[in-house]
Homo-oligomer: A and B are copies of this chain.
Amino acid sequence: MSSTSHSAESHPVAANLERVLPRSALLTDLYQLTMLDAYLAQGMLDQAVFEFFVRRMPENRSFLMAAGLEQLLDFLENLTFSATEIEWLAATGRFSDRLPEYLSEFRFRGDVYAMPEGTTFFADEPAVQIVASLPEAQFIETRLINLIHYQTLVASKAARCVLAAPGKLLVDFGLRRAHGAEAGLLAARAAFIAGFSGTSNVLASAQFGIPMYGTMAHSFVQAHASEVDAFEQFARTFPAGTTLLIDTYDTVAGARRVTELVAKLRPLGINIRAVRLDSGDLATLARRVREILDGNGCEDVGIFCSGSLNEYILAQQFGDDVPVDGFGIGTHLDVSADAPYLDCAYKIEEYAGMARRKRSTGKSTWPGRKQVYREFDAGGGLRNDLVALADEQATGRSLLEPVMRGGKRVAAPLPLSEVRAYAAAELAALPETMHDPSVRIAYPVEISALLQALATRVDHAFA
């Protein structure tokens, strides 16, 4: 791997790069605008509380890791309708005349409480809580879910990979099969938070300061008259250190060619740092390649694997006895292939001071404004969580923290390295049984007695 001896990823010129995430206020569902129009017609502008939570854990997840809050806050701080957007909406003929004027002044002026990015959490726990006027709190639903859902999905998947391959270098390779450009960018970010070392994605590196990694493609080898010619040319172009892809024709023969090339180029000060394996029985091949490298004076050449990898394969096929230094994880990470979505929702829990509850079959919610309290054992490990009303007395750490007041952040964004360190501490506090990706562990999340009683009362109040 071309690792990051240089860290120009955080070079100041990055600040001048094109902003990539769209901020268009039209990035929403039509019904947000029709509901907004109806709220205006009725003067329903009182304060509402909405919460984002996951209804049910996916079958293959014992925990989730919150991510995406930074992009949500950026969206909320910059949310405005442009004159062109308002003109276009008016031209659809779908809305009342009062809507364009309201939209021209529209801003998000509410408060946000949220679990910090990197926090581990579970079903039924609000991870983001919005307190704002009903139209504002309602309107932001679509993009809020869109941003929080995806990064949480990928951070959770990436955290499983990190736990399945302790001490290994993990790199995001997923941009090409991510669902669009934004997915590729945000997946690189979410994976880095969860403990990945970097990404192949150049724009993610430029935008977020994430270390970037890269090797070579099979086409590079194929375009040359011979594999060894390709290897030598690439090594000479990047004398400080390269990773050579050795499986285009025959992995074992490729490894032998690398040892001969190292013997030839090392005296010239040209450094071949690693080889990459991308097909076949990777663990078996890695052992064979390690033997060939070690037997020919290439003990310092690392082995990096890629190719349809995921946390199950890491845990099952790459134990401590398999001599692999790192892994590139692409498609399975960026699309969270074994659980490509979370059953999550953003629901109204209170309006005008009264708790509200949806009772739809299989989709009922816990009403009222809530807080999540977490208790730890003596060693700092997770013991249990309690979902309670926000004004209840309860012990434990409060997971929802104020992050925005009146539409403004309460603090500058943390450096991503700090978010990543916090996430690592969160993973360290998980029960060790959750490290095995194939086993689903249930974690105790209790609903407070007062909250349960409130639900019953609300059920009798609304029909």
Contacts and interface: CB of A to CB of B under 8 A. Distances in A.
Interface of A: 2, 6, 8-9, 11, 13-14, 16-18, 20-24, 26-35, 37-39, 41-42, 44, 48, 50, 82, 84-85, 87-89, 91-94, 96, 134, 138, 141-143, 145-147, 149-150, 153, 173, 175-187, 200-203, 205-206, 212-220, 222-223, 225-227, 233-234, 236-238, 247-250, 253, 278-280, 331, 334-337, 340-342, 344, 347-348, 351, 356-363, 462-463
B181 A22 contact: yes
B9 A181 contact: no
A24 to B, nearest CB: 5
16 contacts: A2-B34, A8-B92, A18-B82, A27-B185, A29-B173, A29-B214, A30-B205, A34-B234, A41-B236, A48-B223, A96-B237, A146-B178, A150-B178, A180-B180, A181-B182, A335-B341
Contact of A361 (B27, B187, B226, B280): B280
B341 A177 contact: yes
Contacts of A205: 30
When all copies of this chain in the complex are counted, the total is 2
A216 B341 contact: no
Contacts of A176: 29, 141-142, 145-146, 149
Given A87-B13, A223-B348, A463-B226, A214 B31 contact: yes
Nearest to A11: B91
A29 B200 contact: yes
A18 B42 CA distance: 32
A271 to B, nearest CB: 14
Contact of A88 (B44, B206, B222, B342): B206
A14 B200 contact: no
Most buried by B among A27, A147, A213, A234: A27
A452 B70 CA distance: 53
B180 A94 contact: no
Contact of A22 (B20, B35, B150): B20
Contacts of A88: 8, 11, 13-14, 17, 206
A206 B88 CA distance: 8
Given A13-B87, A202-B28, A222 B351 contact: yes
Contacts of A237: 34, 37-38, 41-42, 96
* 3 closest residue pairs by CB, A with B: A30-B214, A180-B182, A179-B179
A237 B358 CA distance: 23
A142 B188 CA distance: 15
Contacts of A222: 348, 351, 356-358, 462
Contacts of A250: 359, 463
B177 A223 contact: no
A173 B280 CA distance: 40
Contact of A26 (B84, B149, B153, B206): B206
Given A88-B11, A88-B13, A146 B2 contact: no
A92 B9 contact: yes
Indicate the member of A14, A48, A357, A360 with the most B CB atoms within 10 Å: A360
